[in-house]
Chain A
Amino acid sequence: MSVQGLSKSFGTLRAVDNVSFAVHAGELYGLLGPNGAGKTTTLSIIAGLLRPDAGEVIMDGVRLKDDPPRARRYLGVVPQELAIYEELSARENLEFWGRLAGLSAREARIRAAELLEALALADRAREPVKTFSGGMKRRVNLGCALLHRPRLLLLDEPTVGIDPQARASLLGFVRGLQRDGTAILYTTHYLEEAETLCQRIGILDHGRLLAEGTLEQLQQRLGGDRLFVLEGDLGDAAPDTWPGFAARFRVIQRTARQLVVAARDTRDPAEYLRDLLALPVRVENVTLKRPNLNDVFLQLTGRDLRE
């Protein structure tokens, strides 16, 4: 599935701004961004719920707007909300969505039983969903999108509001789908999920795709795998005026108490530390760490992803 030059505005708000990316079979692609970045709008356009102002979505060579029913057959959508019927049982929910996806009653029954087993819900399949825990409901929500074996699965923040154990179980299931060859577009604002789950990650903010690539590729944007965090009374310090500093380091973030810098070359870390401790400011602590996606986001937007 590829998205090319996708744009969507709501009044004066540009929710999605010329976004392009592709998801391949068997790939788990993460769209990472804070709330309001445009992740759900992008997903809604791909799912056919919203019409883009510009750009197009192509699935298996078919343009969504040219043949919506055919494009929809490739798709399984797991909305962020629990789009299931709480009065019905897990089995009834799965069978219902299976029937809507075009399965016969028998096919839906067999496939629902398979999924209930795979999602570890078989023993409570006949109970109303309203009696389930949050994690179990999330699993039903996921299962409802899988009845027709979609080739592309859109997962919109599927782990919001569930406990770590339930999250781990759900993510394990998602990894299994990816291993079986399903292309997965996964939106999240959890850094750890994107880092550990996704093969490629697109960073979205204010509707724009700021960067994309593997975790390593994104880390490289910061100049390698080393970041130095200096803590101390930085006051009105102006790093640009420090002799030789700009040639060796790039400032990622600066506050009155903290300075985050990336090394521009690949010398021994001890040499960097010596340089940093020799700076004309009073440094209380220096930490060396591997850059994560938050640092990438910080570098791209000047803001912390968690803000």
Chain B
Amino acid sequence: MNLLGILLVKDLRRVARNPWPWLIHLALPLAITALVGLAFGRGGAPGTELGRIRFALVDEDDSALSRLLRGGLGQGEGGKYLEPVVLDRATALARLQANELVAVLVLPPHFTRDYLTGRGPVTLELIKNPAQSIHPAVLEELLGALVTGLNALARNLGSEFPAWRAALEEGADYRRVADLIVRTGEKLDTLRRYLDPPLIGYSREVRPGEAKSRPGLNLFGYLLVGLATMFLLFQANMVMSDLYREAAGRTFARYHTLHARLTPFLAAKGVFVAVMVLLGAAILLGGGGWLFGIRWQHPGVLALLALGYAVFAAGYTAVFAALVTEARAADALSNLVAMVLGLAGGCAFPPQALPAFLREQVTPLLPTAWLAQGIRELEFGSAAVDWPWILLRLTALGVGLLGLAAWLFRRQFARGQRI
């Protein structure tokens, strides 16, 4: 076995004898993912993404229009996301209290009469479950859109409402109803030119190679990818801090009494970092995937990207160790820098939430963003991802940084420093 192998085996044996610091570092992102994922909803059953929004519908109006709304909310496209349960107010509030529902939506008495007579803007009552955050907020947004739509309808078709009200309340024959439908339809037709074509369009192109349906956003997966990217840098820092320990413990000097060239020792540390980052990535993404029910669509590509990131992490930590000579300073600074790289790279929040300057000028330059965004887009996005380019950039940057670190270390050794 060559020198590099002997040194690497020694380091891996040492980790195996005392794995707890490494395991704690790996457990942290999994725990944070679980906590955040659970705090923001039910999270992660495969295919359910955010899950259906289960809420109570209390119909205190009980009119034809309210019955129409009642039926419409849980059907069609709405049925994919909404799960209304029709209850009376007392039962609904009791079940909300028991955290069985996301919210209670109340259609107030005289809702239809007030709407069709134009007595004021549409009013719905929404009681949100304070123990939940995401689902009640989504429901509130949806109801906001519904109310805006009903108000717009009232403004444009208000002249037809008395006839509709009479037909609904007094009953009407088919001819009268048919006339109403035709008239209303004609009015809607005149609006069509304002609405069609819409100012903003959306179309989805399915390329032949992408005919397979992709899973939607998985909150656990989204979080795990970002946190794993950031924590793998922490892990790399911890591995490279071993170089400081070897210098302080004089094992590095002892090595130097046997070998004039120091490069193999440093190279072994770089390989050690890369191996541990790869191992960490396998545990975090593989184990985390199993734990949170994430089905990775491209495990091979993920492994390659993790390899590229491991090379980058080795280079980054080596340059850091070359620049920061004091162990205490390195301890304080290394994780701070890794955290900045992680946060600015959109590992902890969606990059869209970052300040504009950071998002547009800085984030695209960060390897943490290359990896996290690349995997997120690859696994949960719809656009094609140029992963070979990401892999190339990560690897090239890592190799470049390793070269820089080797040069810096050689210069220091030539001056008799750090031994």
Binding site for B on A (CB under 8 A): 44, 47-51, 68-69, 72, 75, 77, 79, 81-85, 87-88, 92, 96-97, 99-102, 105, 128, 144
Contacts and interface: CB of A to CB of B under 8 A. Distances in A.
26 contacts: A47-B257, A48-B257, A48-B260, A49-B257, A51-B416, A69-B260, A72-B257, A72-B259, A77-B257, A81-B250, A82-B249, A83-B253, A83-B254, A87-B14, A87-B18, A88-B10, A88-B13, A88-B17, A96-B6, A97-B254, A100-B3, A100-B6, A100-B7, A100-B258, A101-B258, A102-B258
Given A49-B257, A69-B259, A75-B257, 19 more contacts: A47-B257, A48-B256, A51-B416, A72-B259, A79-B250, A83-B249, A83-B254, A84-B251, A88-B10, A92-B10, A92-B13, A96-B6, A99-B6, A100-B7, A100-B255, A100-B258, A102-B258, A105-B1, A144-B254
Interface in B224-279: 249-251, 253-260
B5 to A, nearest CB: 10
Contacts of A50: 416, 419
A72 B17 contact: no
Interface string B288-330: 0000000000000000000000000000000000000000000
A47 B255 CA distance: 11
Interface residues of B, number: 22
A72 B10 contact: no
Contacts of B14: 85, 87-88
Contacts of A102: 258
Chain A contact surface mostly: loop
Interface string B408-419: 000000001001
A51 B258 CA distance: 16
B251 A100 contact: no
B243 to A, nearest CB: 14
Nearest to A80: B250
A97 to B, nearest CB: 7
A150 to B, nearest CB: 10
Contacts of A128: 17
Contacts of B416: 50-51
Name, among B7, B18, B260, the residue most crowded by chain A CB atoms within 10 Å (CB to CB): B260
A51 B413 CA distance: 10
A69 B7 CA distance: 19
Interface of B: 1, 3, 6-7, 10, 13-14, 17-18, 249-251, 253-260, 416, 419
Contact of A49 (B3, B249, B256): B256
A49 B419 contact: yes
A231 B279 CA distance: 73
Given A101-B258, A105-B1, A85 B10 contact: yes
Contacts of B260: 48, 68-69, 72
A68 B259 CA distance: 8
A48 B250 CA distance: 14
A48 B253 CA distance: 10
Contact of B253 (A51, A79, A82): A79
A92 B259 CA distance: 19
A79 B254 contact: yes
Contact of B251 (A51, A68, A69, A83): A83
Nearest to B11: A85
B251 A87 contact: no
A287 B224 CA distance: 81
A97 B419 CA distance: 18
A96 B10 contact: yes
A158 to B, nearest CB: 13
Contacts of A88: 10, 13-14, 17
Given A48-B256, A49-B419, A85 B251 contact: yes
B254 A87 contact: no
A246 to B, nearest CB: 49
Nearest to A71: B260
Contacts of A79: 250, 253-254
Contacts of B259: 69, 72, 100
Contacts of A81: 249-250
Contacts of B419: 49-50
Contacts of A72: 257-260
B365 to A, nearest CB: 39
A50 B256 CA distance: 10
A84 B7 CA distance: 13
Contact of A77 (B6, B7, B254): B254
Name, among B3, B14, B258, B260, the residue most crowded by chain A CB atoms within 10 Å (CB to CB): B258
A50 to B, nearest CB: 6
